[in-house]
Amino acid sequence: DGGITQSPKYLFRKEGQNVTLSCEQNLNHDAMYWYRQDPGQGLRLIYYSQIVNDFQKGDIAEGYSVSREKKESFPLTVTSAQKNPTAFYLCASSIGGFTGELFFGEGSRLTVL
Amino acid sequence: KNEVEQSPQNLTAQEGEFITINCSYSVGISALHWLQQHPGGGIVSLFMLSSGKKKHGRLIATINIQEKHSSLHITASHPRDSAVYICAVRPGGGADGLTFGKGTHLIIQP
């Protein structure tokens, strides 16, 4: 079945460590996105990529980095520069950029100890 | 930037009741999404609409562009409908990005 796979589902990190969240899709979608969800807030866009080897900052990109070396993969690195990294992270994809229907992964919950 | 307001924030109802969740936004849009977030966190897209009304099973979504308002209705609600329902809007004018509402937490009791 086609879909988006995020891993790990739960992750614990010590302060000062970088951590990478994986996002893989087999839907053949060009566009991929990373969102952050905090309690009581709407989803906020971290980074997005409309095509391989290209990505753009979203509303809250500081302290995060991404790469898009393959169409299927869009990993997110939460760096030690991110001041409040504990959150729920969601990866999504769509056929036609922001104009298309969104498909989401199951999410990754990061906790900084 | 578009402001997206959902109401109610929380809703508890009995199985079989007709459910309405509302979404209002502040500036013109080109499309509106309704999403369902399961207790485990995964999100499923329910509808994407830019005008009129769409129906899928027991779910109905309507949008009034002039009023800047959309509603999601659930008929014959069931405990498995318990989830967070999220409204998201895409701005008009060719701008990128979606603005998300904070969600409506729905609980359907048997």
User: What are B30-46's pLDDT values in tens digits?
Assistant: 899 999 999 888 999 99
| Interacting residues of B90 by C-beta distance below 8 A, sequence separation 6+ | A98, A99, B29, B30, B31, B32, B33, B97, B98
What confidence score (pLDDT) does residue B22 get?
A: 98
- The pLDDT score that the predictor gives to residue A2 is 75
Residues on B contacting A at a C-beta cutoff of 8 Å: 4, 30-31, 33, 35, 40-45, 48, 86, 88, 90, 96-103
What local confidence, expressed as pLDDT, does residue B5 receive? 96
Query: What pLDDT was estimated at residue A46?
Result: 95
Q: How many Cβ atoms from other residues are within 10 Å of residue B16's Cβ? A: 11
Which of B5, B26, B100 should be substituted to probe chain A, the one whose Cβ sees the most A Cβ atoms within 10 Å?
B100
Asked if residue A109 lies in contact with residue A12, where contact means CB atoms within 8 angstroms, the answer is no
A59: left (phi over 0), alpha (psi -120 to 50) or beta: alpha
Amino acid at A113: L
For residue B77, the distance in angstroms to the closest alpha carbon of chain A comes to 24
Compute the average pLDDT of residues A41-59. 93
3-state SS assignment for residue B1: coil
Report the DSSP pairing between strands B69-74 and B19-25. Answer: antiparallel
- Segment B38-62 shows an average pLDDT of 94
* pLDDT value of position A55: 95
Residue A21 has pLDDT above 90, yes or no: yes
**Res B96: pLDDT:** 62
Measure the CA angle with vertex B83, ends B86 and A37; round to 5°: 50
User: How many beta-carbon pairs below 8 A join chains A and B?
Assistant: 56
**pLDDT tens, position by position, A70-113:** 999 999 999 998 989 999 999 999 987 777 888 999 999 999 98
> Which chain B positions have a beta carbon within 8 Å of A58's beta carbon?
97
**Tokens 């459910």, residue located:** B19
Of all residues in chain A, the one with the smallest CA distance to B31 is A99
In this predicted structure, the answer to whether residue B21 has a pLDDT above a threshold of 70 is yes
Mean pLDDT computed over A47-61? 93
Asked if B8 and B101 count as a contact pair (C-beta separation under 8 A), the reply is no
pLDDT, averaged across chain A = 93
Residue of A52, A81, A50 lying closest to A65 (CA atoms) = A81
pLDDT value of residue A40: 86
At B64-104, the pLDDT tens digits run 999 999 999 999 999 999 999 999 998 876 556 788 999 99
> A99 and B4: CB-CB below 8 Å?
no
